[in-house]
Amino acid sequence: MTLFFDRRELVVPGDLLAEGDYEAGDNIYKIGNRFYATRVGLFELKDNKITVIALNAFYVPKVGDVVIGDVVDMSVSSWAVDIRAPRLAVLRAADALGRPFKPDREELAKFLSVGDTVIAKVKAYDRTMNPILTLSEPGLGKVTRGRLVRITPSKVPRLIGKKGSMISMLKRETGCQIVIGMNGVVLVKGRTPEDEELVVEAIRKIERESHVEGLTDRVTKMIRERKMAKKLSRSTSSLGSPGAYAFLARTATSPRRGEDEQGKD
């Protein structure tokens, strides 16, 4: 019996996983004594049964993708970044700073620390290595403010929409800056926390109803209804203020000009 992949190694449809007297589990098809993957996922062998754990909730890196990840570890000259992929990504100091890094003269923690979040681009990747990231392009770097939202990576195309229709609408209707990581992490930066919360609510609706037709119109309607309700709430609040009551009281008790002039005759 022969295994062609290690446990938890990434496989894609059509990969020959094993030959021999095994059982076929989930996401496997068998031809003779050969076992093949039917989905992208992680190879697993347990109790002589071969399965592929589908990567619905995982991100499969692609060179050129913009991703948003968390720094989870660091070495002398690089950081480990969680981008929701099967393997941690590597961000080398030179790729973060755009220049050679001298570990004997500089401290890595001056630039990024564990717990920081970065917007990065996948520089290199294949299934035999950890993804390599870079920050050496405009718009990439450490996240300093905003709200992070995590969705299933497979729903990212729906959030973007055809020809960018959905994301363009979200930006236009809310006035927020929105950065979509292809790994399903979204950064929302608005003028107020309320604006950011409105975008988060819209994103959750898109993820939940991604199969529904006319979704862009439905989300647009929801956003406009929320904005109108907010305006009405503000109007009600202003009428309920002490200043408003004082104005109404003065208006109610002050005589009209005609009445005042008649009283003087």
The 10s digit of each residue's pLDDT in 254-264 is 554 444 444 44
| Domain over 2-54 is classified CATH 3.10.20.30 | no
Rounded average pLDDT over 64-71: 98
The answer, yes or no, to whether residue 94 has pLDDT greater than 80, is yes
CATH class of the domain comprising 56-144: mainly beta
Task: Indicate whether 191 pLDDT > 60.
Answer: yes
Q: What is the spatial order of strands in the sheet that 16-19 belongs to? A: 2-3, 16-19, 34-37, 28-31
Q: What is the pLDDT of residues 10-51, one digit of tens each?
A: 888 999 999 999 999 999 999 999 999 998 888 999 999 999
State mean pLDDT over 200-204: 96
- Tell me if 2-54 shares its fold with 56-144: yes
Write down the pLDDT at residue 210. 84
Output DSSP code: residue 191. S
What does CATH list as the number for 145-253?
Answer: 3.30.1370.10
pTM above 0.85, yes or no: no
Which residue do the tokens 């990439």 mark? 140
Radius of gyration of the chain (CA): 28
Give the model confidence (pLDDT) of 99-110 as tens digits: 888 877 888 888
